[in-house]
Chains A and B, each alone.
Chain A
Amino acid sequence: MPSNQKSPKLWITCMFMVIVICFDIIALVMPDKDFSETENRMLAQAPVASSKSITEGTLGEDAEKYLSDQFAFRDAWSNLSFFTRSMLFGQKEMNGVYIGKDGFLMLIPSEPARESLQKKLSAINAVTEKYGEINHCIAVIPNAEAIMTNKLPSYAPASKQPQQLDDISRSFRGITCCNVSELFKKHRYEELYYHTDHHWTSRGAYLAFTAIASDMQIQADDTQYDIYTVSDSFQGTLSSKSGSHGYNDTIEIYVPKGEHPISVRYSDSTETSGSIYQKDFLNTKDKYALFLGGNHPIVTITTTADTDRTLMLIKDSYANCFAQFLTPYFDQIIIVDPRYCYDSVDMLINQYEITDLLYLYNADTFMTDTSLTDFLTLESDNSEQSKE
């Protein structure tokens, strides 16, 4: 080939070297970041070479993690690959999240473990029977995937949740079970769920509240609410999980009209607060933590409602934005998250004079989590410890 001998073409070589060396220089110059807002996780830091990390080969792996976590314009690269996957290739799910229509992201519920679910249901029934004098009530809220079926990607498999929730409600004895599936389906055009987060909106929680209220023997329409929009730039957990960042959610809060002074105490901190809203979180990634400051083992809300009723709310994070509707109706609300709480139900019921008990979960957590069963079935741990 004569052209080869004249002057070899080196276009690709130059292109490769320029691109690669540019990024190397940027990598050297740019300071490292600790935290990725978009992914909501800590980024890997420069590994420290030690004789141990070298001989065991962990240094290489740590360095790879570090380089790719701190790679220049990391978020832009993720967006590019997300765009390629969803727009060019037409992929409809990313890391366990449906890329629904109109930017709607929906968590794909995990398959429930039948046996542990059965255990949980019997544990709930046992507690109901044991504390007959208390009003027991349970609400398992369907996830967006079961309700927003019109926003699911086309041909996505039908949700199993409606059937599962039916089965669950039939297996309860002596406890009022509130199934909001039908109600939610009727109102599904009203933004009941965030588009980019796995939680429901305050609007969704309010709708459920109107249904649950009658089961709990409280008058929902006694209270009027002032509705405020507190954020319009919320990108939630599903955004981080799937890598889709094209939509911003709005967060609303429902503040009961009139004077309702309350005091909120968190078991894992010494401070008390006068509001269930922690507005500092609106400046962070995790804006849903606005409600009760995210998850805590036990939160105690003391109100001036003077109704002689004390509620124990056993819940997951769905209930965080539900609490705002309950404050006018109970003197005290004990909010327990069994996932973070090592106490037992017996101990807490004895400690406070509980008159009402409400379980509030989203279906996905309810069907897969095991901490609730532990919380309900185990005898008080402290008593045993003191005996030792």
Chain B
Amino acid sequence: MKSILFEICRWAAFAAALIFIIKTTGGTSPVSNANPQTVLESTYASAHTDNMQPASNQMIKRLYGIDPSEYAFCKLYYPLTNMDVDELLLIKYADGSQEQQVKSAVDARLDEQKKAFENYGVNQMELLNDHSVFKSESGFAFFTVNVNADQSAEAFAHAIKED
């Protein structure tokens, strides 16, 4: 009799673990239908944007080496005074295969900024190291460097869930 109870308990634990794993496994999360412009606005609203300015496509190409026309949506706010490091990038992939390309572009950009300010810009280094966030999910990529990076990342995660 007891063994049946044990059996039930252990398989309940097993099922719970299974559900937990499935829930935390990334999966090809379905592409979000959120309007990129809305996502951009809500992330921008939560970021510290005093030191940012909107970038032209030319500037995106120059700073990230990617061509905005290849993406469904690609907008960048870049540092206002060149001695700042605050920026915010939102991309919607045209297809999922672009993820790797964007990821390495963002990595390269962050590395380059760190190299430029290493040894000189103590505050800039702190922002680049501790207040930069990159996220890629549901067909969107989001990258920002600003003091409220965590809040903007949260806003991003929230915004892409809404239709």
Contacts and interface: CB of A to CB of B under 8 A. Distances in A.
Interface of A: 35, 40-42, 44, 52, 198, 237, 240-241, 267-268, 286, 289, 294-297, 317, 339-342, 368-371, 374, 378-379, 381, 384-385, 388
A241 B118 CA distance: 10
A339 B126 contact: no
Q: Chain B contact residues: over half helix, strand or loop, or mixed?
A: helix
Interface of B: 56, 58-59, 62, 78, 81-83, 112, 115-116, 119-120, 122-123, 125-126, 130, 154
Given A341-B82, A342-B82, A379-B58, A286 B116 contact: no
A42 B123 contact: yes
Given A340-B83, A381-B59, 15 more contacts: A35-B122, A41-B126, A44-B130, A52-B154, A240-B119, A286-B119, A289-B120, A294-B120, A297-B83, A339-B116, A340-B116, A342-B62, A370-B112, A371-B116, A388-B56
Contacts of A374: 62
A268 B82 contact: yes
A27 to B, nearest CB: 21
Contacts of B116: 339-340, 371
A297 B62 contact: no
A297 B82 contact: yes
15 contacts: A35-B122, A40-B122, A52-B154, A237-B119, A289-B120, A317-B120, A339-B116, A340-B82, A340-B83, A340-B116, A374-B62, A381-B58, A381-B59, A385-B56, A388-B56
A159 to B, nearest CB: 21
B135 to A, nearest CB: 13
B24 to A, nearest CB: 12
B58 A384 contact: yes
B83 A40 contact: no
A235 to B, nearest CB: 12
Contacts of B62: 342, 374, 378, 381
Nearest to A36: B122
Nearest to A43: B126
Contacts of B119: 40, 198, 237, 240-241, 286
Contacts of B78: 342
A268 to B, nearest CB: 5
B79 to A, nearest CB: 8
Question: Max chain A CB contacts within 10 Å: which of B59, B122, B125?
Answer: B122
A381 B122 contact: no
Nearest to B79: A342
A294 B119 CA distance: 10
A245 to B, nearest CB: 16
A261 B82 CA distance: 29
Contacts of B58: 378-379, 381, 384
Nearest to B127: A42
A368 B111 CA distance: 12
Given A374-B62, A378-B58, A296 B120 contact: no
A268 B83 contact: yes
Contacts of B122: 35, 40-42
Contacts of B130: 44
Nearest to A42: B126
Given A289-B120, A374-B62, A384-B58, A42 B83 contact: no
B155 to A, nearest CB: 13
